[in-house]
């Protein structure tokens, strides 16, 4: 009997037909579910898989915008951005041996523990190790080939003139954003807008494919300032020499185009180098010509005279009784350094008589005097847009006492910044028209506002010419070949509500006086030694800068080359 067809392998049992069918159905359902899930994820709802893939291999990287260049009025670069590399890491992707970490720290010049701490912070996807490396150092980082450590292109600001124009230009931070000066004031135009790009990176953090540009970077705009680099250097050099020569605390100088109000130079000493990333003392960084207020002293006298001329109270030849140099107002006395019995109005300016200026101011109603000063720009800002610009102080005339109205005529009880004072003198250069100042190059003529009549402005300008001639307070401001008009100031400093024996020496002038091209204002804070008068300290700075600047402009002479005449005796001194 053949039983082979009915025999089974030992240990095996046949599944009942119903169970095998059930198992087959379950397997088929499982496979169908997987197929449906795969189709759903890849065809209908693939965000999850895309998200996971992007998290492992995709990155959105920022593309820094190139900051706009700042140039002077002739196109000479004053601030440019140069490309640099910064080292960054994705801690989750870093696969570095202890030896590589040690080498990385050595190349970066960082403590090894600091590098370890930054690389081990897996809570962050992005961490800088060091910013703005020079090219040779960046190449060494690349040569180490540490997975997860990469370079990022950035820009670093460079200032070719270093400390010469530091206070005007300011500087940027490590992210190339303006922090001071023009860099801050015009950040929106200069900074541009950063872009972004989606990329795929390998396990070592290297970009292997650019997927898409999400937003293209928009570079910043190039800007041309009103500054003339040649005049800026002259101004900087001379104010530095004056501060050092007279052992002064500080000094400032402003050069304006008399017709357009453009700032051609603005310098302070002490200064700082904006290329040095170590932050200097804030007192050195301060742009004193714009942010610091001071009492202008006798540089205010021309405005008191102009107000009285415009009101018809005096003429240039009107005789003022100066009381032998001492004039009492209540319990207070006003004194002249050089007593005179009588002076004409022109001589009040020439010899800088406090008594004469006070009497002229008191001939006006307080409101009229206040309004005249306000029209000349005192009590407000210049409109330059410079960050931190201090508004001048001109008190409400309804609160004036007679002594305050009198002393304001020679610059006590009123405060200005140097840029504001220089701007005020545009009224004498432009037939009574006050020009708005600007830090940007102007292509078209600018219209100001009328502060005085043309006749008044011309009459005061003639008086200011007497100041620099023998018999005046500033013969050291004379320039060979040019007529000069200007005014000295020597003001006691106000501390704790009291005037102390420390001084602000100043001079503001314009030239050529026949048709003014430039205005130069000089202020020296606390000159030491025997020389502290404006005619001794500030006037020579004016003469050196104005003379060289006029020659740079090829301004035609309006006087013989032998016009400089020095007095036989010492310069007439004045206080106020």
pLDDT tens for each residue of 217-271: 788 999 999 999 999 999 999 999 999 999 999 999 999 999 999 999 999 999 9
- Residue 457: C-alpha distances to residues 2, 258, 307, 461 (Å): 141, 14, 10, 6
Residue-level pLDDT at 150: 80
Q: What are the tens digits of pLDDT across the range 26-72?
A: 888 888 888 877 777 676 656 665 665 555 555 666 677 889 999 99
Tokens of residue 358, six digits = 């006070």
Q: Strand, helix or coil at 412?
A: coil
Residue-level pLDDT at 299: 98
The whole-chain average pLDDT of the chain stands at: 88
Residues 543-549 have a mean pLDDT of 98
Confidence of residue 414 (pLDDT cuts 50, 70, 90): very high
Residue-level pLDDT at 92: 77
Q: What are the tens digits of pLDDT across the range 346-398?
A: 999 999 999 999 999 999 999 999 999 999 999 999 989 999 999 999 999 99
Residues 326-351 have a mean pLDDT of 94
Decide if 235 contacts 266 (C-beta within 8 A): yes
Number of CB atoms found within 10 A of residue 416's CB:
30
506 Cβ contact partners less than 8 Å away, ≥ 6 residues apart: 296, 297, 299, 421, 488, 489, 490, 491, 521, 522, 523, 524, 534, 538
Tell me which residues are annotated as active site: 298
Sign of CA dihedral 338, 340, 345, 347: negative
Q: Domain boundaries in the chain?
A: 60-89+96-111+126-224, 229-273+281-552
229-273+281-552 CATH pick, 3.30.1600.10, 3.40.710.10, 3.30.450.90, 3.30.413.10: 3.40.710.10
Residue-level pLDDT at 155: 87
CATH of region 60-89+96-111+126-224: 3.90.1310.10
Residue 3 has pLDDT above 60, yes or no: no
Residue 233 CB-density burial (10 A; 0-12 exposed, 13-18 middle, 19+ buried): middle
Question: In the sheet that 518-525 helps form, which strands lie side by side, from edge to edge?
Answer: 263-269, 250-257, 518-525, 498-511, 485-495
CA distance 356 to 344: 9
Tokens of residue 366, six digits = 């307080």
Decide if 506 contacts 521 (C-beta within 8 A): yes
Closest CA to 62 of 93, 88, 95, 91: 88
304 Cβ contact partners less than 8 Å away, ≥ 6 residues apart: 357, 360, 361, 369, 408, 409, 410
269 phi and psi, to 5 degrees?
-140, 130
Higher pLDDT: 158 or 174? It is 158
Confidence of residue 206 (pLDDT cuts 50, 70, 90): low
- Residue 366: C-alpha distances to residues 4, 396, 399, 487 (Å): 136, 9, 10, 24
Residues 294-299 have a mean pLDDT of 97
Higher pLDDT: 499 or 208? It is 499
The residue with tokens 């709802």 is 45
Residue-level pLDDT at 197: 63
Percent of the chain with pLDDT over 90: 63
Q: What are the tens digits of pLDDT across the range 147-172?
A: 878 888 888 899 999 999 999 999 99
Q: What are the tens digits of pLDDT across the range 524-536?
A: 999 998 899 999 9
Residues 4-21 have a mean pLDDT of 59
Residue 2 has pLDDT above 60, yes or no: no
Residue-level pLDDT at 4: 45
225 Cβ contact partners less than 8 Å away, ≥ 6 residues apart: 70, 71, 72, 73, 78, 168, 182, 263, 439, 440, 441
Residue-level pLDDT at 215: 72
């Amino acid at each position: 009997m053949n039983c082979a067809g009915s025999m089974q392998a030992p240990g095996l049992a046949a599944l009942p037909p119903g169970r095998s069918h059930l198992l087959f159905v379950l397997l088929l359902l499982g496979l169908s579910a997987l197929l449906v899930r795969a189709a759903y994820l890849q065809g209908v709802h693939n965000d999850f898989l895309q998200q996971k893939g992007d998290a492992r291999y995709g990155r959105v990287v920022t593309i820094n915008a190139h900051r706009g260049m700042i140039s002077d009025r002739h196109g000479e670069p004053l601030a440019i951005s140069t490309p640099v590399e910064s080292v960054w890491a994705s801690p989750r992707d870093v696969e570095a041996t202890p030896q590589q970490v040690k080498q990385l720290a050595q190349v970066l010049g960082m403590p090894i523990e600091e590098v370890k701490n930054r690389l081990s912070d897996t809570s962050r996807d992005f961490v800088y190790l060091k910013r703005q490396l020079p090219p040779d150092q960046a190449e060494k980082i690349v040569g180490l080939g540490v997975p997860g450590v990469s370079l990022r292109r950035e820009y670093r600001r460079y200032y070719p003139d270093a400390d010469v124009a530091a206070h005007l230009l300011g500087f940027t931070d490590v992210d190339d954003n303006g922090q001071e000066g023009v860099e801050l004031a015009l950040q929106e135009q200069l900074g541009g807008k950063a872009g972004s790009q989606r990329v795929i990176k390998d396990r070592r953090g290297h970009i292997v494919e650019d997927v898409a540009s999400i937003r293209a970077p928009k570079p910043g705009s190039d800007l041309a300032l009103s500054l003339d680099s040649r005049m800026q250097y002259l101004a900087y050099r001379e104010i530095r020499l004056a501060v050092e020569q007279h052992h002064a605390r500080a000094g400032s100088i402003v050069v304006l185009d008399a017709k357009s109000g453009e700032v051609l130079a603005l310098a302070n000493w002490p200064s700082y180098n904006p290329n040095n990333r170590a932050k200097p003392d804030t007192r050195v960084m301060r742009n004193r010509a714009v942010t610091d207020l001071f009492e202008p002293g006798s540089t205010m006298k021309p405005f008191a005279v102009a107000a009285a001329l415009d009101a018809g109270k005096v003429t240039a030849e009107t005789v003022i009784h100066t009381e032998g140099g001492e004039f009492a107002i209540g319990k207070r006395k006003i004194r002249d350094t050089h007593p005179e019995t009588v002076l004409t109005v022109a001589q009040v300016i020439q010899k800088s008589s406090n008594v004469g200026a006070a009497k002229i101011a008191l001939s006006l109603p307080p409101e009229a005097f206040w309004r005249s000063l306000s029209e000349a720009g005192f009590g407000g800002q210049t409109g330059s847009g410079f960050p931190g610009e201090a508004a001048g102080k001109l008190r409400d005339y309804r609160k004036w006492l007679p002594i305050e109205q009198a002393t304001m005529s020679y610059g006590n009880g009123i405060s200005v910044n140097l840029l504001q004072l220089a701007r005020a003198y545009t009224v004498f250069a432009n037939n009574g028209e006050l020009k708005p100042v600007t830090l940007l190059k102007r292509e078209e003529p600018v219209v100001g506002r009328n502060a005085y009549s043309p006749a008044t402005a011309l009459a005061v300008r003639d008086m200011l010419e007497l100041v620099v001639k023998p018999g005046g307070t500033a013969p050291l401001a004379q320039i060979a070949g040019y007529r000069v008009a200007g005014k000295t100031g020597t003001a006691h400093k106000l501390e704790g509500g009291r005037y102390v024996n420390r001084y602000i020496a100043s001079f503001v002038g314009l030239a050529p006086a026949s048709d003014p091209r430039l205005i130069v204002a000089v202020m020296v804070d606390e000159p030491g030694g025997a020389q502290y008068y404006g005619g001794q300290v500030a006037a020579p700075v004016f003469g050196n800068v104005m003379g060289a600047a006029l020659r740079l402009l090829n301004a035609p002479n309006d006087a013989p080359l032998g016009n400089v005449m020095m007095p036989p005796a010492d310069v007439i001194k004045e206080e106020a």
